[in-house]
Amino acid sequence: MTSRKQFEMKTNTWVGLVALVLIFVAVFFIARGIFNLLAWLSPVLLIATAILDYKVIVNYVKWLVDLVKKNTPLGIGAILLSLIGYPVLFGFLFGRAFLNYRVRQARKSVENEREGEYVDFEELETKKLELPPLEPKKPKPEPEPQPQKRSDYEDLFNE
């Protein structure tokens, strides 16, 4: 006697699948909206990145060139992905430049706290101070040696 399980789809399964599809559709539209927003802001982000820290852009281009030299297919793929996903790339580069900028500011503030800031100053006229002459020091008399007291404790070692 063999038992066979039959596959049955209940209403809970259908509700779960519909909810899952709706969640994926919502995530898709949110991601598409963010991508479109970054696409519109990408020129501004690239200029802001260059202003904050242009070395981030230079280092990224150097990395792409080195990748093409070491592994040509992977380098070409990275360049193509950079061209297709430029809004995300420019957002990432801006985030990196902004982080570097904040780190430099924090270092500078810590350095200023440690060393202090330079301040404007005025040169004051120095007046010579007249002091009375010093009297020579008198030597202190040496104290008289005190006789040593004997104790019973010292007698313990003499025996």
pLDDT tens profile 118-141 = 777 777 788 888 888 888 888 787
Domain membership flag for residue 142: no
Q: Where do we find the tokens 């810590």? A: 110
HEC string for the chain: CCCCCCCCCCHHHHHHHHHHHHHHHHHHHHHHHHHHHHHHHHHHHHHHHHHHHHHHHHHHHHHHHHHHHHCHHHHHHHHHHHHHCHHHHHHHHHHHHHHHHHHHHHHHHHHHHHHCCCCCCCCCCCCCCCCCCCCCCCCCCCCCCCCCCCCHHHHHHHC
Domain membership flag for residue 82: yes
Average model confidence (pLDDT) across the chain? 86
Domain membership flag for residue 12: no
Domain membership flag for residue 50: yes
Residue 69: its pLDDT value, please? 95
Domain membership flag for residue 97: yes
Most confident stretch, 62-66, 144-148, 155-159: 62-66
User: pTM for the full model?
Assistant: 0.59
Domain membership flag for residue 56: yes
Total tally of structural domains belonging to the chain: 1
Q: 51: domain range?
A: 42-112
What number is the average pLDDT over the span 35-47? 94
Q: Do 35 and 88 contact (CB within 8 A), yes or no?
A: yes
For 23-60, give one letter per residue: b (16+ CB within 10 A) or e: eeeeeeeeeeeeeeebeeebeebbebbbebbeebbeeb
Domain membership flag for residue 150: no
Domain membership flag for residue 79: yes
pLDDT tens profile 46-99 = 999 999 999 999 999 999 999 999 999 999 999 999 999 999 999 999 999 999
Residue 151: its pLDDT value, please? 67
